[in-house]
Amino acid sequence: MSKGVPIHLPNTSASPEAAALILAAGAPALLASSNQSATLSCASGVFILSWSASDIGAYDWVGLYRSINDADDAQLTYQWATRGSSYTTSEVVQTGYQARYVVWRAGLGKYVSVARTDPFPFIRVCSQ
């Protein structure tokens, strides 16, 4: 791949891992995001990821993690941020889980989280 040529992930159906390989090979991130946030809630016993950014980057995504200690590439599930502002997962609610807003950092050559929720407490009742 030549550097400087925009590479589009077809229908954003590629995984974050595949996107990282494409971006690391020199594809530019087309739009950098800013002012990101992530929220973790639940309904019907499963997690719901919600997010916002003032400008959503073309390769931004939001992921669910089992622990605050998990690496940024160890997500259980994810959704591209360009696909809306919330995502209902199939992951059953458990204590300690975390949501993260993740962006591509070209200078580092990898994805990094820029917004994280606190570990999910198992003290609230989710609607059934």
The pLDDT score that the predictor gives to residue 128 is: 57
Assigned fold of 10-116: Immunoglobulin-like (2.60.40)
pLDDT tens per residue across span 83-112: 999 999 999 999 999 999 999 888 888 899
What is the average pLDDT across 4-25? 57
Averaged confidence pLDDT in the chain: 80
> Quick check: 59 and 102 in contact, CB under 8 A?
no
pLDDT exceeds 50 at position 31: no
For the chain, the structural domain boundaries read 10-116
Percent of the chain with pLDDT over 90: 54
Cα gap 104→89, rounded to integer Å: 23
DSSP string, 11-71: GG-S-HHHHHHHHHTTPPPSS--BS-EEEEEEETTEEEEEEE-SB--TT-EEEEES-TTS-
